[in-house]
Amino acid sequence: MRSAKIILCALGVLFACAPAQRISSQTSAPQRRIVIAASAVLDGRGRVLRHTRIVIEGAKIVAIDPKAAPVDYDLRGLTVLPGWIDAHVHITWSFGRDGKNAGAGGTTQEAAYQAASNAWVTLMAGFTTVQSVGSPADLPLRDAVARGALPGPRILTAVEPLMGRGEASGTPDEIRAYVRRQKEAGADVIKIFAANSVRRPETTLSQEQLDAACDEAKKRGLRALVHAYKDAVRAASLAGCTQVEHGTLATDDDLKLMAERGTYLDPQAGLVWENYLLNKEKFVGTPGYPTSLEGFAGMKTLIPMYHEFMKRASKIPGLMLVFGSDALAGSHGRNAEEFIDRVRDDGVDPMAAMVSANSLGAEALGMADEIGSIAPGLQADIIALDGDPLKDITAVRRVVFVMKAGVVYKNAARSPLKQASAPSAPRR
Ligand SMILES: [Zn+2]
């Protein structure tokens, strides 16, 4: 009998290995219960809870109860909040073996390992859900993380974006068929390019084409994200698309229209440009980037333009600003720098910045009843910062605890109790 039990344990049959006392003390099926003690909890919806405890069973939060015991993780002295949501990343984009930007399409072993590494560093940085916008290479990574085979954030992907190319993008019917093919390929969301770039902001899809794309997405139960600048921003909102990416050069009237129509905006405050400048030798001459280092100088002039836009957008009443870092090669795991840019450089309220990556970010994904808040019934995606981001936004760099769906992936909190509490350790 004893050897049989050991074999069961080796096979990871948890119930056979759980301390007998715990099994006998529970009436229903045993489910691992974890209690986190915290002195400051940002609930993800704009409230601060003081001196309380979060109770987790399995993958979910089941209670907020200041008297819950015993405590498994003592996170007092830290700031506890829901795992962040990044609405715009390119999770597979990496630098290749030659050190150069390899973009999204790598199919080598190096590219696959690099994508897995991107997922790992993103999770370690406190991001428990990301939306990748997108690449077919996202699919096996998304599915491996979802199976628990690789550590990483929950990944949603657009698979293959619809590139606006004027008439060549197809008739409205052809565009509808394209959207359906993405859904069949496993897309969680549809990504549409309706403008070129901030420097060439011309619209690349007609209103009719954009209407077809976003309407078809809606009919298939998918959200539609539109890469847009200037006039394409208004067109995307009129087409009923879910969210505008970037949005720079939109007028206040365009932004007010978005607020009225409930179109989310995902602007960037600086990380993406800072990253290009930091890594210009790795991007130079690769597809879509300047062919000489001098060509990167112009990016410096774009940063103030993005700051101006973020400041202006954050003052439009009712406009819903989500958090999207546009993380790609060089910035995976540094996504939170975007919070610092928003708050330090653009005067965004720090609580609003946190909510943009918590409950509001979840709402934009259509997942507000699953993630983005610390409340009973939601997934136990919980992180802790060494510091208070409401007083010092650079605290977002100091993520010392990461739990996703009830599993602790990082626990670098300092007190002896915090370090001694391994998730599988007996608690009595
Ligand atoms: Zn992007």
Mean pLDDT of 84-93: 98
Q: How far is the CA of 324 from the centre of ligand 1 (A)?
A: 9
Segment 202-259, tens digit of pLDDT: 999 999 999 999 999 999 999 999 999 999 999 999 999 999 999 999 999 999 999 9
Q: How far is the CA of 380 from the centre of ligand 1 (A)?
A: 28
Segment 167-193, tens digit of pLDDT: 999 999 999 999 999 999 999 999 999
Segment 2-17, tens digit of pLDDT: 333 333 333 333 333 3
Please give the pLDDT value at position 414.
66
Q: How far is the CA of 327 from the centre of ligand 1 (A)?
A: 7
How far apart are alpha carbons 126 and 403 in whole angstroms? 9
For the chain, give the percent of residues with pLDDT over 90. 82
Report whether pLDDT(19) > 80: no
Mean pLDDT of 28-50: 89
E-strand stretches of 12-153: 33-42, 48-57, 60-64, 73-74, 79-82, 84-89, 94-95, 101-103, 127-132
Report whether pLDDT(115) > 80: yes
Please give the pLDDT value at position 419.
44
For residue 260, give the 3-state DSSP assignment: helix
Q: How far is the CA of 193 from the centre of ligand 1 (A)?
A: 10
- Whether omega before 134 lies within 30 degrees of 0, making that bond cis, reads yes
Residue 300 dihedral angles phi and psi, to the nearest 5°: -60, -35
Mean pLDDT of 347-374: 98
Please give the pLDDT value at position 426.
38
Q: How far is the CA of 166 from the centre of ligand 1 (A)?
A: 20
Which of 6-20, 89-103, 185-199, 402-416 shows the lowest mean pLDDT across its residues? 6-20
Cβ contacts of residue 118 below 8 Å, gap of 6+? Answer: 91, 92, 93, 94, 332, 333
Q: How far is the CA of 48 from the centre of ligand 1 (A)?
A: 32
pLDDT band per the 50, 70, 90 thresholds, residue 365:
very high
Report whether pLDDT(28) > 70: no
Q: How far is the CA of 71 from the centre of ligand 1 (A)?
A: 41
Q: How far is the CA of 94 from the centre of ligand 1 (A)?
A: 13
Q: How far is the CA of 272 from the centre of ligand 1 (A)?
A: 9
Tokens of 387: 């510091």
More confident: 128 or 134: 128
Please give the pLDDT value at position 226.
98
Q: How far is the CA of 257 from the centre of ligand 1 (A)?
A: 23
Segment 57-77, tens digit of pLDDT: 999 999 999 999 999 999 999
Q: How far is the CA of 105 from the centre of ligand 1 (A)?
A: 14
pLDDT band per the 50, 70, 90 thresholds, residue 427:
very low
Please give the pLDDT value at position 304.
94
